[in-house]
Amino acid sequence: MKRRTFLVCTAALFCSAFLAVGCTQKTSQPVLQQIEYSNLADSDTQDLLSKLLQDAGVSDLRIQTFFDHVQKFNNAVDPAWLTTGFENAKPSDLKYDPYSMQDAWTEKYDTFPGWNCRITACGLFGDFITVTGKADLDSAEDTLFMDYETLDSDPESLCGDERQKFDALFAPVKTTNTTDIPTHLKTIQQEWKKRGLSFVEDDKIRLVSVVLHDQFSETDNSLMIGHVGVMLPTSDAVYFVEKVAFQEPYRLLKFKNRTELSDYLMLKYDNSWGQDTAHTFIMENSDLMDGWRILDEQKDASLKHRIRWEPFSLTDHSPSDTKKTLQPLTQRRQRPFYIGMFGSQGELWADDKVCGEHWLFGARISRKSAYLKYRS
């Protein structure tokens, strides 16, 4: 049975391992304490984003497809869970309960999972990506199967025959067992070159990718784009558009600079939890993003947060007819993944010796996985 890794595309967890990285950019800028964002539920922010995308050269078809998806999602959930225009919040704050939001989506769209960060970003940014080679489709299928569920059901999500671009960009990249960020950066750049993947360089639109180091054993390491969005820099702000997760909202965020964007993403996704993996790093197109930094808060987070891991049945948040068989977790714990695609704010997914069939997929998929509950 293939081991499948769920990718992290959703809201925040603050803890990270204590690791030193030589290429971290030093800045005295205070750590981001507040974000300004919109869920694109009002005409003003929709018009703003539409103009930003048009000015950046995004095609009308891609813009229309994106807003069609926004409309479908926002219409499926309670308006009280969404912002009215731009609102301010702490980076980790949510206006909604992820479980309730997931239930609302499922009630309307049944087993169709919706669109996630990767599909959304590729749909908007596809014209700025060129591919001449092919990715390892076996490794892509092993990790992107949920994405493929959507793309098979809604092939127009990428606005044309873009699967080759999608695979080349998001298929995992094999790497070495090291915490050295420059090594991982060079590895992913070289693999993208082998795949014939390149970017059209345009100052008005950039692809921002959150790269995670996953370690299944000392000899089995990979780099994955766990989250991704589109950056739209202007003369007075840096805008970032993202889909938080399959069944969580769209967001347009406004930052003063790239360092604030880096802080926002690192607070959410730099969660290696004391394991022997590299810190999360952020790429802008094919290079390390200007302003990226590892936060001091994350280096000693293990001292500030006591984590208790508790396995529990998937049936806690799934239909009553779901059948599960859980076996004890092994002592070797894989890197935990934050699961937004199932609306599990505050919970983690680990790939380990636990057998069951996830309710979202039915009996078709049997996997070695378990939910782990996070408690601070």
- 290-336: pLDDT as tens digits: 999 999 765 544 333 323 333 333 333 333 333 233 223 322 233 33
- Is 165 inside a domain boundary? yes
Instruction: Output DSSP code: residue 256.
Output: S
Alpha carbons 109 and 149: distance in angstroms, whole number? 13
Last residue of a domain, one of 299, 328, 354: 299
Please state, rounded to an integer, the average pLDDT across all residues of the chain.
Answer: 77
Give yes or no: residues 191 and 321 share one domain.
no
Question: 15 in a domain, yes or no?
Answer: no
The reply to whether 291 and 351 lie within a common domain is no
Tens digits of per-residue pLDDT, 24-61? 555 689 999 999 999 999 999 999 999 999 999 999 99
Q: Are residues 290 and 199 part of one domain?
A: yes
Regarding whether 276 and 212 lie in a shared domain, the answer is: yes
Same domain, 80 and 173: yes
Cβ-based neighbour number of residue 195 at 10 Å: 21
The verdict on 313 and 278 lying in the same domain is: no
Listed residue (141, 118, 131) closest to 164, CA to CA:
131
Residue 16 lies in a domain: no
pLDDT of residue 160: 86
What's the rounded Cα separation, in Å, for the pair 123 and 99? 27
Asked if 360 and 273 sit in the same domain, the reply is no
The domain total for the chain is 2
Helix (H) or strand (E) holding 100: helix 98-109
Nearest to 289 by CA among 215, 337, 227, 246: 227
Residues 114 and 132 in one domain: yes
* pLDDT of the residue at 245: 94
Task: Assess whether 189 and 240 both reside in one domain.
Answer: yes
Inside any domain, residue 278: yes
Alpha carbons 91 and 188: distance in angstroms, whole number: 28
Q: Are residues 234 and 323 in the same domain?
A: no
Can you tell me the distance from the alpha carbon of 310 to that of 314, in angstroms, rounded to the nearest whole number?
12
In a shared domain, residues 71 and 206: yes
Q: Of 360, 337, 119, which is closest to residue 243 (Cα–Cα)? A: 119
Q: Among 284, 208, 302, 293, which Cα is nearest to 21's?
A: 293
pLDDT score recorded for residue 297: 63
For residue 275, the model assigns a pLDDT of 67
Q: Is residue 1 part of a domain?
A: no
How far are the Cα atoms of 101, 147, 200, 209 from residue 57, in angstroms, in the given order? 33, 26, 11, 20
Tell me the pLDDT tens digit for each residue of 154-165: 999 999 878 999
- The predicted structure's pLDDT at residue 152: 94
| Residue 209 to residue 218: CA distance in whole angstroms | 25
What pLDDT score does 360 carry?
Answer: 32
3-class secondary structure, 77: coil
Question: What local confidence, expressed as pLDDT, does residue 317 receive?
Answer: 36
Predicted confidence at residue 271, as pLDDT, reads: 73
Do the beta carbons of residue 48 and residue 63 sit within 8 Å?
no
Residue 24's pLDDT is: 53
Is residue 331 situated within a structural domain? yes
Q: Which residues of the chain have pLDDT under 70?
A: 1-27, 272-275, 297-376
In a domain, 11, yes or no: no
What whole-number distance in Å separates Cα of residue 44 and Cα of residue 60? 18
Say which residues have a Cβ less than 8 Å from residue 19's Cβ, sequence separation at least 6.
Answer: 179, 272, 278, 279, 294, 299
Q: Which of 248, 282, 299 is the last residue in one of the domains? A: 299
CA distances from 179 to 170, 224, 285, 292, 320 (A): 21, 15, 22, 16, 43
Is the same domain home to 288 and 327?
Answer: no
Residue 46 lies in domain: 35-299
Q: Is residue 28 part of a domain?
A: no
Among 279, 299, 319, the domain-final residue is 299
